[in-house]
Amino acid sequence: MKITGVSAESISDSRGEKTILVTIKTNVGDFSASSPSGKSTGKYEAKTYKKSIEGDIEKIKQMSSYFSEEIDDFDDLKKIEEILAKQVGANTIFAFESAVLKALAEEDGEEIWELINKKPARFPRLVGNCIGGGKHSSLEKKPDFQEFEIIPDEKNVEKCFETSKRIKEKLKKILEEKDNKFSGKKNDEDAWAVSLNEKEVLEILKKEKVPVGIDIAASSFYGWGKYKYENPQFKRNKEEQLEYISNLIKNFNLFYVEDPFEENDFESFAELRARFPDTLIVGDDLTTTNPERLIKAINKRSINAIIVKPNQIGSLIKVKEVCEIAKANNIKIVFSHRSGETEESILADLAFGFQADFLKCGITGSEREAKINRLIEIENSFE
């Protein structure tokens, strides 16, 4: 496949904020892809844009003549990254590489996931954010934790999706009774925005008889050695945070716990994992889809699952490396959307191709459903 021209423009994500769309012209047609954008970002994430989205767009428009080499397979993305890495940011690289994969799949007469894995064996299980707080909620009073997730264990993706939607809709009526400030408003990820605290939310979810997860996003309310809770106001040091999260896991039988400590505290992650070997202790801000940070987390026994966000590292080659390292060390892989999403569905192909254990992409909203529907489409093609 040969790239003969490139262009880029800004589009609106699900928050109405700017993100990038890249289009490439090739010998097999024109292909476009967009990147999501995160709000709750880790300190160690790759830079979203080199200087600004406008700067990246202008740089891409100047680069048509840069791509002279043939691109034949997934690993040839290295050629793209060698050109782009010092020119543009992570979002732009991800959108560009996604467009390249679409072109390669078209040229080969294959699905995108087949460029990664010709014989995938299973489908990822859905992780659905149903109630939200933290940085993703605009309410003044809200849970300090960022996400409360339901993780159905059904026979196929479609059944998981149906279960998630049914529970989420049921929760609306329950929240109307339990939260006197609930108005049916949704947050950045189309999850219910509530004024309850984390324990009140977990009391509600516990009754649904479905595996439950939380994304604490602890770095977002950590500072000066303390976790600063607002609902209700309370400060916890790292030892107190460890005891608090441990009690939540025990009392609510939590299946999945993401970023329970700030992004440099590998030791507290490890202590929690040691206490609860059957609970998924998931690194996101801790690991930022970065092979070096994943290896550090493995060496310290900090996690048994990792969030993979392709635009978090700005390299699908490094995404491949992260997945290989995770599998070699029995670390579960959770491919994840971002809070500011687009209608782009390639995340489903990547999750399936790399044989992720889970796909975390919300439950409702067209941008979230695009990914789930694509995964269901792939699943149905095997029947």
CB atoms within 10 A of CB 276: 17
Identify the band that residue 41 occupies on the pLDDT scale cut at 50, 70 and 90.
confident
The pLDDT tens digits for 350-367 are 999 999 999 999 999 999
Q: DSSP labels for 179-241?
A: -TT--S-B-TTSPEE----HHHHHHHHHTT-S-EEEE--GGGGEETTEEEEETTEEEE-HHHH
Instruction: Encode 300-309: b = buried (16+ Cβ within 10 Å), e = exposed.
Output: eebbbbbbbb
Does any domain span residue 328? yes
Name the nearest CA neighbour of 339 among 198, 220, 181.
220
Same domain as 341, residue 196 = yes
- Residue ending a domain, among 110, 139, 162, is 110
Residue 120 belongs to a domain: no
Q: Are residues 243 and 156 in the same domain?
A: yes
Which residues on neighbouring strands pair with residue 228, listed in sequence order? 235
**pLDDT interval class at 38 (50, 70, 90):** confident
Indicate the number of domains in the chain: 2
Domain-located, residue 115: no
pLDDT of 39 > 80? The answer is: no
Picking from 110, 139, 163, the residue at the C-terminal end of a domain is 110
User: What does the block give as tokens for 341?
Assistant: 């999403």
Res 267: pLDDT = 98
Cα end-to-end distance, the chain, whole Å: 31
Distance (Å, whole) CA 257 – CA 252: 12
Q: Do residues 256 and 146 share a domain?
A: yes
HEC letters along 145-163 = CCEEEECCCCCCHHHHHHH
86 and 144 fall within a common domain: no
* Alpha helix (H) residue ranges in 62-191: 77-84, 90-108, 157-178
Q: Do residues 198 and 289 both lie within one domain?
A: yes
Alpha-carbon distance of 220 to 217, in angstroms, equals 6
How many Cβ atoms sit within 10 Å of the Cβ of residue 2? 14
Tell me: pLDDT of 75 over 90: yes
User: What pLDDT is recorded for position 364?
Assistant: 97
Average pLDDT along the chain: 96
- Write out the residue range of the structural domain in which residue 210 sits: 125-380
Average pLDDT over residues 201-214: 97
Same domain? For 241 and 353 the reply is yes
Residue 383 pLDDT more than 90? Answer: no
Is the same domain home to 247 and 273? yes
Angle ∠(117,335,345) on CA atoms, nearest 5: 75
Residue 245 lies in a domain: yes
Q: Which pLDDT band holds residue 43 (cuts at 50, 70, 90)?
A: confident
Residue 268 lies in a domain: yes
Q: What is the CATH number of the domain that holds 82?
A: 3.30.390.10
Q: What tokens appear for 343 in the block?
A: 């209608």
CB 192 within 8 Å of CB 182: yes
On whether both 68 and 207 belong to a single domain, the answer is no
pTM check: above 0.85 = yes
Tell me what the mean pLDDT of segment 86-102 comes to: 97
- pLDDT score at 65: 84
Is the residue at 62 inside a domain?
yes
Give the Cα separation of 24 and 64 in Å (integer).
Answer: 9
**Span 239-246, average pLDDT:** 98
Banded model confidence at residue 42, pLDDT cuts 50, 70, 90 = confident
Q: Would you say residue 118 lies in a domain?
A: no
Query: Does one domain contain both 52 and 93?
Result: yes
pLDDT at residue number 46 = 94
- Do residues 133 and 43 both lie within one domain? no
Tell me if 54 is assigned to some domain: yes
- Residue 40 is predicted with a pLDDT of 65
- Catalytically active residues, by annotation: 189, 309
Whether 163 and 263 share a structural domain: yes
Q: Are residue 103 and residue 144 in the same domain, yes or no?
A: no
Report which secondary-structure segment, H or E, holds 27: none
Residue 142: its pLDDT value, please? Answer: 97
Q: Assign residue 222 the CATH number of its domain.
A: 3.20.20.120
Examine residue 232 and say whether the peptide bond preceding it is cis (omega within 30 degrees of 0). yes
* Model confidence pLDDT, tens digit, residues 306-327: 999 999 999 999 999 999 999 9
Measured at the alpha carbon of residue 103, what is the angle toward residues 99 and 107, in degrees to the nearest 5?
A: 170
**Mean pLDDT (whole number) for 328-342:** 97
Banded pLDDT at 64 (limits 50, 70, 90): confident
